Amino acid sequence: MDEIIIKGGKALSGEVTVGGAKNAALPILAATLLTGGKFRFQNVPDLRDIDSIKELLATMGADVQTGDGEVHIDTAGLNHYEAPYEQVRKMRASILVLGPLLARMKKAKVSLPGGCAIGARPIDLHLNGLELLGADIALEHGYVEAACDQLTGAEIYFDIPTVTGTENLMMAATLAIGTTVLRNAAREPEIIALADVLNQMGADISGAGTAVITIKGVKHLFPVDTAIIPDRIEAGTLMVAAALTRGNVHIKDCDPLHLKAIVHKLEKTGATVTADATSLTVKGNGPINSIDIKTMPYPGFPTDMQAQFMVLLSVAKGFSVISETIFENRFIHVSELRRMGADITISGSHAMIKGVKSLSGAPVMATDLRASASLILAGLAASGTTTVSRVYHLDRGYEFLEKKLALLGAAIKRVPAQTKP
């Protein structure tokens, strides 16, 4: 297991390019199961989670080839409808194959994804929706066993605007007979990106990006050649790195329209942000202002940026409060930040942060994807050296983050974990 070593105190400067969005690529690659044929995807990020979904598609009989940021998938040979536990446990978003498999093969057997570090992560809203579309759902031996003669359109109301739930049901409904309406649907840019690709494939979807999505079922879908949108969470993470180190960083190939909540909050902390259609520049200025943050479904402040902003606020002037409303256990990074000198008190879903003058470098351990990014950020700002272990968590969702930061002037390197004596 690799470690990342950071010597803090360097102001970042220069230009960095954002990669393709993990959370757009995952449902889009799963959507290839909806039809047979040759797909080509560009700007696919090189991440462990993407490897996981590619492996899963290959076990189902798809031919998956990767090279130069492109992924080519031929689903003509699809001959399996099972997503086994040993693969789903590696990446819970594998549940995204459930809807497409059911729609195309009329049956699916997918391991229950189980929880993860940040929460129980139930899938009841996915399963309730599929039942409304006419599927028979059974939970046996840790698996979801789903079957149908033919999915039929329905009205589906989500108690919570679930991102992958919206994606699963949107994909399943494309081949249903009749019209499906998803109400209280998630509105993330990744939902819009998936709907765009499905419509390119011949689906008839309207309303993506709003709380009401209408899917008119069609008989067939066709393979496409398309590109993945930029990763707004990687962009946001790089923006925080620039502000935190009082740097001046130009972030290219992103979509500032997806970053409005992040820009709004970053400017309130005192950073300067300028943007054009496909890039933005973040300048960190003097003292960092304390602010309050409440994570919300899009277009609110994203929960996937909560840990990163906590680092920024841990060295702000005064008190800040972060309220985490999406996941029940997404403060795991706090204990490691405290070891670096952060003054943070947790009360239920709220974190009270008293800004300190500086963090101090320490050996810390990553626990989940965004927590690992926050520890890297903390190391950039801390005095002294920080060693982040278990960086396989980071590699799930960030493409060579340490290389991008080093190109911006950070004193950061990846080393094989020291074999303990």
Q: Based on CB atoms, which residue is closest to ligand EPZ, 81 or 327?
A: 327
Q: Could you give the CA distance from residue 11 to residue 119 in angstroms, rounded to a whole number?
A: 35
CB of 396 to ligand EPZ, least distance (A): 8
Q: Which residues in 360-379 contact ligand EPZ (CB under 6 A)?
A: 369-370
Q: Which of 98, 103, 163, 401 contacts ligand EPZ by CB under 6 A?
A: 163
Q: Could you give the CA distance from residue 2 to residue 356 in angstroms, rounded to a whole number?
A: 30
Q: Based on CB atoms, which residue is closest to ligand EPZ, 312 or 315?
A: 312
How many residues touch ligand EPZ (CB under 6 A)? 23
Is 116 a known active-site residue?
yes
Q: Based on CB atoms, which residue is closest to ligand EPZ, 93 or 351?
A: 93
Tell me the residue type at 90.
Answer: K
376-to-27, 117, 157, 214, 262 alpha-carbon distances in Å: 28, 18, 39, 41, 19
Q: Could you give the CA distance from residue 219 to residue 204 in angstroms, rounded to a whole number?
A: 11
Is residue 327 part of the contact set for ligand EPZ (CB under 6 A)? yes
- For 419, which DSSP code? P
Pairing of strands 107-111, 143-147: antiparallel
Is residue 125 part of the contact set for ligand EPZ (CB under 6 A)? yes
- For 13, which DSSP code? E
Q: Could you give the CA distance from residue 31 to residue 99 in angstroms, rounded to a whole number?
A: 9
Q: Could you give the CA distance from residue 55 to residue 199 in angstroms, rounded to a whole number?
A: 25
Q: If you search the block for the tokens 């494309």, which residue do you land on?
A: 174
Is residue 114 part of the contact set for ligand EPZ (CB under 6 A)? no
Q: If you search the block for the tokens 């689906």, which residue do you land on?
A: 203
Instruction: List the structure tokens of 101.
Output: 């498999």
CB of 124 to ligand EPZ, least distance (A): 5
Q: Which residues in 186-205 contact ligand EPZ (CB under 6 A)?
A: 186
Q: Based on CB atoms, which residue is closest to ligand EPZ, 160 or 415?
A: 160
Is residue 393 part of the contact set for ligand EPZ (CB under 6 A)? no
Q: For residue 189, what is the enclosing H or E element? A: helix 189-200
Q: Based on CB atoms, which residue is closest to ligand EPZ, 230 or 341?
A: 230
- For 9, which DSSP code? -
Window of 144-152, 163-171, 253-261, 283-291 that interacts with ligand EPZ by CB under 6 A: 163-171
Residue 171's SS3 state is helix
Q: Which of 73, 78, 123, 353 contacts ligand EPZ by CB under 6 A?
A: 123
Which one of the listed residues 5, 105, 116, 406 is annotated catalytic? 116
Pattern 8-37, ligand EPZ, x by CB under 6 A: ---------------x--x-----------
Q: Are 239 and 266 a contacting pair, CB within 8 Å?
A: yes
Window of 65-73, 119-127, 262-270, 331-339 that interacts with ligand EPZ by CB under 6 A: 119-127
CB of 263 to ligand EPZ, least distance (A): 18
Residue 416's SS3 state is strand
CB of 201 to ligand EPZ, least distance (A): 20
Which of the residues are catalytic? 116
By the criterion CB under 6 A, which residues form the site for ligand EPZ?
23, 26, 93, 119, 121-126, 160, 162-165, 186, 303-304, 326-327, 369-370, 397
